[in-house]
Amino acid sequence: MTLVLASPRGFCAGVDRAIHIVERALEKYGAPVYVRHEIVHNRFVVESLAQKGAVFVEELDEVPDEAAVVFSAHGVPKTVPAEADRRGLTSLDATCPLVTKVHREAELHHAMGRQIIMIGHAGHPEVIGTIGQVPDGTVLLVGTPEEAEKVAPKNASMLAYITQTTLSVDDAAAVTEVLQRRFPEIVGPKREDICYATTNRQAAVKTIAPKCEALMVIGSPNSSNSSRLVEVAARAGCARSVLVQRAAEVDWSLLDGVDRLGITAGASAPEILVEEVVAAARERFDVTIEEIRVTTETVTFKLPQALSE
């Protein structure tokens, strides 16, 4: 079996930064350090940090007074850091800087009197956090071209759109096309909201999918960017595309007769999980590795000043 590895794959700069923030907070403040929501959407990462002393909670009322708390990479509504300040908690913001960019866009549009349409998935933490940057009722959420056809803003001449950072590039483009046709004066982002890592991982999958009989995306079911990679692979010509969390989950019997297996990993999945799958494949097949790279990523993000001192 030839394993065709997509590159780039796995951790992005925002995920890497978020994990380092939790690890540095544990070094500086000692365990436990509380983390509101999963720091990134990957069970292996969350369990690894929990073993080091991180305690994951859904809301601040689960965090004891005077504790240290980290906000996840997905971002949080403004009410969350305000409540942490009110309670005197030591808070650290691990929001990906590219998500923060979308937050600032939302604030700017609101300040200029524009109603905002957000392209994203209802209930996703990033969407909740972004909508929570502006007053209730300011943002209209659409997830599909069909919803974009029906959305009814108050004033079509004072309208802007923003985008969840982890969407399918093609899906978001389809929604944007509808919005721009219906509302020619709508204002979009100066630079694409979908992040570089999402775009690059989808481009790599589009490149390898037609060359593979089956494709495996390593990531968690609640990871938006991982789920989108499965969809992108199927559309790009590899119908046998599946999402797995790690090697122990793989049903190898489904790969009987497969000569070329594509492998990638979502932006919140560490490379060790890819290595696990490769090792498991070697136990069952005579494996050849072929890596196809579409670009090299050099992006890095600084840690918060409180942790870099």
Query: 3-class DSSP state for residue 21?
Result: helix
CB 226 within 8 A of CB 6: no
Query: 3-class DSSP state for residue 54?
Result: strand
Q: Which amino acid type is present at position 147?
A: E
Residue 120 CB partners (closer than 8 Å, separation 6+): 126, 127, 130, 141, 143, 163, 164, 167
CB 54 within 8 A of CB 22: yes
117-127 exposure pattern, b = at least 16 Cβ within 10 A, e = fewer = bbbbeeebbbb
The reply, when asked if residue 72 is annotated as ligand binding, is no
The reply, when asked if residue 241 is annotated as ligand binding, is no
Rounded-to-integer distance, Cα 235 and Cα 192, Å = 22
- Alpha carbons within 13 angstroms on the beta-carbon side of residue 270 total 14
The reply, when asked if residue 223 is annotated as ligand binding, is yes
Location of structure tokens 């796995």:
10
Rounded-to-integer distance, Cα 306 and Cα 288, Å = 46
> Which tokens sit at 134?
């502006």
What Cα–Cα distance (Å) separates residue 306 from each residue in 96, 142, 303?
16, 37, 8
What Cα–Cα distance (Å) separates residue 295 from each residue in 9, 199, 250, 287?
11, 11, 28, 25
290 is catalytic: no
What does CATH list as the number for 13-95? 3.40.50.11270
Please give the order of strands across the beta sheet that includes 241-244: 241-244, 214-218, 260-265, 2-7, 288-293
The reply, when asked if residue 2 is annotated as ligand binding, is no
The reply, when asked if residue 268 is annotated as ligand binding, is yes
What's the alpha-carbon Rg for the chain, to the nearest Å? Answer: 21
> Which tokens sit at 110?
């609101």
Query: 3-class DSSP state for residue 230?
Result: helix
Predicted confidence at residue 309, as pLDDT, reads: 65
The answer to whether 2-11+196-293 and 98-194 have equal CATH topology is yes
Predicted confidence at residue 274, as pLDDT, reads: 98
Provide the CA 124 distance to its chain's centre, in angstroms. 10
Q: Which amino acid type is present at position 122?
A: A
What does CATH list as the number for 2-11+196-293? 3.40.1010.20
Predicted confidence at residue 168, as pLDDT, reads: 94
Residues of the chain with pLDDT below 70 are 309
Domain ranges of the chain: 2-11+196-293, 13-95, 98-194
Residue 127 CB partners (closer than 8 Å, separation 6+): 118, 120, 121, 141, 164
The reply, when asked if residue 96 is annotated as ligand binding, is yes
The reply, when asked if residue 224 is annotated as ligand binding, is yes
pTM for this model (two decimals): 0.94
Predicted confidence at residue 243, as pLDDT, reads: 97
* Active-site entry in 27, 126, 192, 249: 126
What does CATH list as the number for 98-194? 3.40.1010.20
* Helix H or strand E segment including 261: strand 260-265
Residue 271 CB partners (closer than 8 Å, separation 6+): 9, 10, 11, 265
Location of structure tokens 């560490």:
270
